[in-house]
Amino acid sequence: MKSFKQKLNETAERLGLTPEQIPRHLAIIMDGNGRWAQQRSLPRVEGHRRGAQTVERIALDCVDFGIESLTLYSFSIENWKRPRTEVNALMHLYAEYLVGIRPTLMRNNVKLIHLGRLDGLPVPVQEELAVTMDKTCANTGMTLALALNYGGRTELVDMTRKIAREHKAGILRIDDIDEACISRHLYAGDLAEPDLLIRTANEMRISNFLLWQISYSEFYVTKTLWPDFKKSSLDKAIRAYAKRTRRFGTIETGS
């Protein structure tokens, strides 16, 4: 099995870039499933079904690209406000998906992790999520982070509660609380911050996604609806990212 470095070098060569110009952690706000279905006079749930197929395809493309981490915004805290029939259909799809994707994750050495609150998810989804994470926990390839029942503000609330409990228990002193401490107490404290955030369907919002982690991420918005997003779309996003100069608050040398 090829290493991250080998895959990264091959991707860079194919795209005419250097390995340093390829994002290590990619985050995607997957938008447009409903619109995709409506444009074809199909039920919205069919758009979500096609979107799930795109998830698997793009995840495998990211594995081939040498991407180390892929975070997907799948279902937000706010999405519970959608019609009950749509939410129920989505939850059924998640349970199916988490079972169906296991062989693919294992064949490709991908580790699945969850971002969000387990409480509130239907029991079948919680169970299948736990089984899939358990089966893939020892995999050493790409990390696939599924943001399911997730909200950026909720994550910050949960992080604050964790820190407060540890301070009350005498584990943390006030002076121990810094940016690194906050990062460690997020849902996946060891997950690197995203280099590139992609949003599909031409929406110009963050939508309460990774509010702490994307402080210095590069943004890329495409008109492409998520079910139509493909490898060539990913190539285009990475080429756009490669043109950016990431200064992290400094200035370019010689400026």
Handedness of CA 73, 79, 80, 84 (dihedral sign): negative
Place of tokens 């199916």: 96
Other C-beta atoms closer than 10 Å to the C-beta of 188 total: 17
The amino acid at residue 191 is L
For 203, the 3-state DSSP assignment is coil
Tens of pLDDT, residue by residue, the chain (255 residues) = 899 999 999 999 999 999 999 999 999 999 999 999 999 999 999 999 999 999 999 999 999 999 999 999 999 999 999 999 999 999 999 999 999 999 999 999 999 999 999 998 999 999 999 999 999 999 999 999 999 999 999 999 999 999 999 999 999 999 999 999 999 999 999 999 999 999 999 999 999 999 999 999 999 999 999 999 999 999 999 999 999 987 666 656 544
Half-sphere exposure (Cβ direction) of 15: Cα atoms closer than 13 Å? 27
Residue 47 lies in a domain: yes
What's 138's domain CATH number? 3.40.1180.10
Residue 188 lies in a domain: no
Task: Please state, in angstroms and rounded to a whole number, the distance separating the CA atoms of residues 155 and 209.
Answer: 10
Task: Please state, in angstroms and rounded to a whole number, the distance separating the CA atoms of residues 115 and 183.
Answer: 13
Residue 49 lies in a domain: yes
Full-model pTM: 0.94
Task: Please state, in angstroms and rounded to a whole number, the distance separating the CA atoms of residues 8 and 1.
Answer: 13
Give the pLDDT score at 194: 98
| Tokens standing for residue 142 | 């790409």
Give the pLDDT score at 245: 83
Task: Please state, in angstroms and rounded to a whole number, the distance separating the CA atoms of residues 175 and 101.
Answer: 44
What are the DSSP calls for 52-73, one per residue? Answer: HHHHHHHHHHHHHHT-SEEEEE
| Tokens standing for residue 148 | 């399911």
For 113, the 3-state DSSP assignment is strand
Give the closest residue to 125 by CA, choosing from 93, 158, 100.
Answer: 93
Residue 213 lies in a domain: yes
Spatial contact of 70 and 28, defined as CB atoms under 8 Å apart:
yes
Residue 62 lies in a domain: yes
Task: Please state, in angstroms and rounded to a whole number, the distance separating the CA atoms of residues 112 and 100.
Answer: 13
DSSP 194: P
Residue 248 lies in a domain: no
* Residue of 79, 109, 139, 208 marked active site: 79
Give the pLDDT score at 255: 43
Task: Please state, in angstroms and rounded to a whole number, the distance separating the CA atoms of residues 200 and 232.
Answer: 14
Task: Please state, in angstroms and rounded to a whole number, the distance separating the CA atoms of residues 133 and 234.
Answer: 26
User: How many folded domains does the chain comprise?
Assistant: 1
Give the pLDDT score at 34: 95
Domain containing 80 equals 23-151+193-242
Residue 158 lies in a domain: no
Q: Using CB atoms within 10 A of its CB, is residue 80 exposed (0-12), middle (13-18) or buried (19+)? A: exposed
| Tokens standing for residue 162 | 């964790």
Q: Say whether 79 is catalytic.
A: yes
Residue 186 lies in a domain: no
Q: Say whether 33 is catalytic.
A: no
Give the pLDDT score at 248: 61
